[in-house]
Amino acid sequence: MHGRWWLVALGGFALAAFVLLPLQWALARSAGRIRTAEDVPATEFGLVLGAGVRYDGRPSRILQGRLNVALALHRAGRVRRLIVSGSPHSRGYSEPVVMRDYLVARGVPPEDVLLDESGVDTCSSARAAARTFGLRAITVVTTNFHLRRSVALFRRAGIDTYGVGHDAAADGLRRVAARGARREVLATVKAFWWRA
């Protein structure tokens, strides 16, 4: 009986470590690197991570929030150019093209927006930033709940990274933010243990 409880306790400890180590990794790798549009160090490039396209071809509300943060960074001169990273197949649309069109319609010069259609997930976006675009410094723009993992992954790709987030909860998307925060636990565990 005692042996069984010992095994249960050991299994519980292993499971806790399996989950907590990745969360600690993301926390440590992003420490001091989550900033606001006002205090983030200036970089040549900002990179906006995709978050879905609506059936009518417009950015989802979460994606609009991210794009609006990118607009603020560009207008404030905190980033000079933007990479929009997402799937080429999002409800029949290229997500990066939709993102670019949103930014250009709001005053960003077309030549300041680069497309990354390989960004089907955060790992792919980080790899493209490092390998395809050859970047060594970047500001990542995403939703607050996604920031720590994103910064950690871009830093793991060898890029000096800061992150600026969109506050979805404050923007009336509390349920989406709560669901995203829960999803991030599993996504962080996967990113830590299963490196692509």
Q: Which domain holds residue 158?
A: 2-193
Mean pLDDT, residues 94-98 taken together:
97
97-112 residue pLDDT tens: 999 999 999 999 999 9
Mean pLDDT, residues 71-87 taken together:
97
With a pLDDT cut of 70, the percent of the chain lying above it is 90
Total domains, the chain:
1
43, 139 in Cβ contact below 8 A?
Answer: yes
Q: Cβ of 54: how many Cβ atoms within 10 Å?
A: 15
What is the per-residue pLDDT for 191?
85
159, 130 in Cβ contact below 8 A?
Answer: yes
What is the per-residue pLDDT for 64?
97
Instruction: Tell me the pTM.
Output: 0.90
What is the per-residue pLDDT for 6?
63
At residue 48, what is the residue type?
V
CA distance 29 to 135: 18
What is the per-residue pLDDT for 21?
83
CATH number at residue 145: 3.40.50.620
Q: Could you give the 3-state DSSP secondary structure of residue 184?
A: helix
29-55 residue pLDDT tens: 999 999 999 999 999 999 999 999 999
With a pLDDT cut of 90, the percent of the chain lying above it is 71
Range of weakest confidence among 10-14, 40-44, 133-137, 147-151: 10-14
What is the per-residue pLDDT for 147?
96
What is the per-residue pLDDT for 14?
61
Answer yes or no: is pLDDT of 95 > 70: yes
H or E element, residue 113: strand 113-116
For 29, 47, 168, the CA distances from 130, given in Å and listed in that order, are 17, 12, 28
Lookup result for tokens 């907590």: 20
Q: Could you give the 3-state DSSP secondary structure of residue 83?
A: strand
